[in-house]
Amino acid sequence: MGRYTYHVETVQSWLLLTRLHILIHFIAVVSLCYYRISHLLHQPPTAPWILITLAELLLSVMWFLNQSFRWHPVSRTVMTDKLPREDNLPGLDIFVCTLDPEKEPTVQVMDTVVSAIAMDYPSDKLAVYLSDDGGCPVTLYGMKEAGEFAKEWVPFCKKYGVKLRCPKAFFSQMEEDEDLLRQEGFTAHRDLIKRKIVCDFDSHEFMEHNYEQTRLFFLASIQAKYEKMQTNIDKFGSDPNNLRLVNDRAPRIEIITEEPGLPLVVYVSRERRPSLPHKFKGGALNTLLRVSGFLSNAPYFLAVDCDMYCNDPTSAKQAMCFFLDPQTSKDTAFVQFPQMFHNLSKKDIYDSQTRTAFKTMWQGMDGLRGPGLSGSGNYLSRSALLFGSPNQKNDYLQDAQKYFGNSTGFIESLKVIRGQKTTKKSSSREETLREALAVGFSYVILLESTITGYLLHTRGWRSAYLYPKTPCFLGCAPTDIKEGMVQLVKWLSELLLFGFSKYSPFTYGFSSMSIIHSFTYCLMAMSSLYSFFFILYGILPQLCLLKGIPVFPKVTDPWFAVFAFVYVSTQVQHLIEVLSGEGTIEMWWDEQRIWILKSVTSIFAVLEALKKRLGLNKMKFNLSNKAIDEEKTKKYEEAVFMAPMVLLLIINIVAFFGGIWRVLNEKDFQEMFGQLFLVTYVMALSYPILQAIVTMKSKSG
C-alpha cells in the first residue's frame, strides 16, 4: 500500500499468485508452441496444420501482451477532506462536445451541461464550455434556456445539499420517492405551480412556513421550471430549420452566463469550412482548449461527452487529490474515471459495461504508469497538453508561435499557466472575445483519447485511474448490436492504423516507455487481429473433423494435457477476475460469448483500416432510391455485422452433427475428442445467436 498526501494506492492482494499463474501458464504456452513447430519439422507439413500453428502462435503473442495488464494492478481511494480550502483550489474548465441534435437530443445535452454547471466546486473557479460542432440554432437556444434554469437549479442544489445534480436523474428519482410524494401538500403545490410558474421565491407565503414545507415548495417549483425548459427546447426544435447542421460557417462564441454565484458558461461554435480539415471531436476539443485560454485559462479541465452527465458532483475534488498531491502533482497529466451507464439491464448481454476494460485493463495500466485516456470522464492538466514533458523548460515558449500560431493573447495565456510574467494588459470581455474568435485552426495539440494518452505517457507524464463506489459519470450505452459494433469497428480500425504508424508502440513506444507499459498499448493496437485466430479456429478444426483429419493430440497423448491445461487455466483466470469484481458466473459466460462475437466481427475493423491505408474509404456510393426504409436499413446493417459469426455457426452445426456421425462410424473418438469438444464449446457459446435467427425467421414467416 502506498499512502500519499491526498490519496491511497493499494496493490492487488493476490499479486504474487497472479504472477505465479502467469509464469506457469507461460511455460504451458511455450510447450504448446514447441509441439506445433516440432511437428512441422518432423512431419510432412499440411495446410491445416500450418494454419492452425499460425493461429496459435498469434494467440500466444496476444496472450503474452495481455498479461502486462495483470503484472501490477492497483486501486486508489481519495481523501477529499484533506484538500486545501475551496478558495485555494485551482481553476477548472469543463468541456462538453455535441454535433447533431437529431442523434444527440438537445434536452439530453442540456442535462449534461446543467450537471456540469452545478458541480460541487467554487463557482468563481469553474467555467463550462459547450462546443456545438453542428452550428445548430436549437443548441444555442438550448444553452440559453439551460443558463436560465441553472440560475435556479444551482442555488437549490447548494441550499439543500442535492447530491444528484443532473435534473433529469434527480426528478426521475424524486418521482419514485413514495415517502416524498406522500408528504402533505407536495403534490398539490407541484400541480399548482405547473399551472402558474412562480418566479419570486422570497416573496411567496410558503417561505414563512417551516423548513420542510419550504423545501417541498422549492422542489415543486424547480421541477416545473425544468419541465418548462424541456417544453421550450422541444418546441423550438420542432422546426426542421432549427435542427439543420451548418458545415460552412464563421466562428461564434457567446457567453451565456457570467454573474456572481454561477460558473462562467460559454457557447462555442468553431469555424467550419468544407475546404479545411476539422478533425471531428479532436478538433472541437482543441478549439475549446484555445478559446478557454482567453476566457478562463484554468490549469485543469474536464472533457465529458454530451450524453455522460455528471452523476457525482464531487468528482472534480476527487481528481484534485492527484493533481494537488505534492508527490504526484508534478507529472500527473490526467485522471481517468470509468465510463458507466444508466440504461443497462441486469443481464448485459452485449457487455456494454466493458468490465474487462475498466476493471482489468485500466487498473492494470494504473500500476505501471497510468491508464490510457478514454473519450470521456477525464480530468486533464492543461500544461501536459501544451508542453512537451514534465521537465519542459520555459524557453519552450520562446518559439511558441511555431507551435501555437500568431495569437499573442493565447501565447500570453500559456505564460500564465507556466507561472511566468505576462505582458498582457487587462482588456474588456468584448476585446477578449474578438481575439478568441480569431484563434483559428491548430491541430498540433492532439486530443483524440487513446492516442493522446499514449503520447503523454511517451513524454514522461503519468496518469491515475479512480474507480469510486458512486459512478461519477453516467451515460447511455448502445442499445442494439449494430450500434455497439459500429463503435467497435471504428475504434479498432483506428488502433490498428496507430499500430502501423510512426508512433507505433512496437517501435516508438519501446524507445520512450517501460517495456511492460508499452505492451499494454501493443495489445490495444493489435486487438482486431484476434479475428484471424477465431475465424481460423472456427473453420479449420471443424472441416478437418468432417474429413477425419486430427489437428489436436489424441486424449491418451501426454501433449493433450498441455492443451487441456491452457484452456482450463485461461477459463479459471477469467472466472476469478469476474467474481472478484463482484460479477457472477453468468456474467463470466456472457463475456466469453460476446468476446468471441466481437473478435470475429473485428475482421471488419481490419478491412476498414486497410481501406483507409489504401485511400479507398473516400469512395462513396450513392443510393438511387432516396426513400430508404430505416428499419430495413438497420436490419441490413445488423445482418452484415452478424454475417461472419452466423457463417461460423452454420459450419459448426454441420461439423457437430457430421462429426458425431463420422466418429460413431469410424470409432476414432480419442483422435477427434479435441475437435468435438471445440465444436460443442462454440455451439454452446453461439446459442443466443441461433435462438435469434430462429426468432427472426418465425417473425418474418
SS percent in the chain: helix, strand, coil, step 5 = 60, 10, 30
Q: How far is CA 653 from the centre of its chain?
A: 36
Of residues 306, 303, 251, the one with CA closest to residue 282: 303
- Residue 351 bears catalytic tag: no
Set 221, 352, 374, 449: catalytic member: 449
505: DSSP letter: I
Say which amino acid occupies 357. A
Which helix (DSSP H) or strand (DSSP E) does residue 364 occupy?
A: helix 362-366
Would you say 141 and 239 are in contact if contact means Cβ atoms under 8 Å apart? no
Contacts of 671 (CB under 8 A, 6+ apart): 550, 554
Say which amino acid occupies 465. Y
Please report, to the nearest 10 degrees, the dihedral formed by the alpha carbons of residues 340, 464, 450, 637 taken in order. Answer: -10
Residue 634 assigned as binding residue: no
- Residue 120 in grid coordinates: 460541487
Residue 104 assigned as binding residue: yes
Please report, to the nearest 10 degrees, the dihedral formed by the alpha carbons of residues 454, 456, 460, 466 taken in order. Answer: -80
Q: How many residues does the chain have?
A: 701
- Residue 17 in grid coordinates: 499468485
Question: CA-CA distance, 131 to 586, in Å (whole number)?
Answer: 41
What does the DSSP assignment read for 567-585? Answer: HHHHHHHHHHHHHHTT--H
Residue 103 assigned as binding residue: yes
Of residues 106, 108, 130, 133, the one with CA closest to residue 117: 130
| Max CA pair span of the chain | 95
Question: CA-CA distance, 179 to 219, in Å (whole number)?
Answer: 14
Would you say 581 and 355 are in contact if contact means Cβ atoms under 8 Å apart? yes
Set 132, 133, 366, 590: catalytic member: 133
Q: Between vectors from CA 663 to CA 657 and to CA 668, what angle results, nearest 5°?
A: 155
Question: CA-CA distance, 250 to 331, in Å (whole number)?
Answer: 38
Rg (CA), the chain: 28
Distances (CA, A) of 132 to 142, 171, 246, 434: 11, 26, 10, 18
Give every strand in the sheet of 7-11, ordered side by side: 2-3, 7-11, 74-78
373: DSSP letter: P
Residue 305 assigned as binding residue: yes
- Residue 449 bears catalytic tag: yes
Find the distance separating the first CA and the last CA of the chain, reported in whole Å: 62
- Residue 525 in grid coordinates: 493496437
Contacts of 174 (CB under 8 A, 6+ apart): 180, 219, 223
- Residue 345 in grid coordinates: 439491464
Distances (CA, A) of 119 to 71, 127, 303, 651: 36, 10, 14, 55
Strand 332-336 to 309-310 pairing: unpaired
List the catalytic residues: 133, 449
Binding-site residues for UDP-alpha-D-glucose, in ranges, read 103-104, 133
Binding-site residues, in ranges, read 103-104, 133, 281, 305
Binding-site residues for Mn(2+), in ranges, read 281, 305
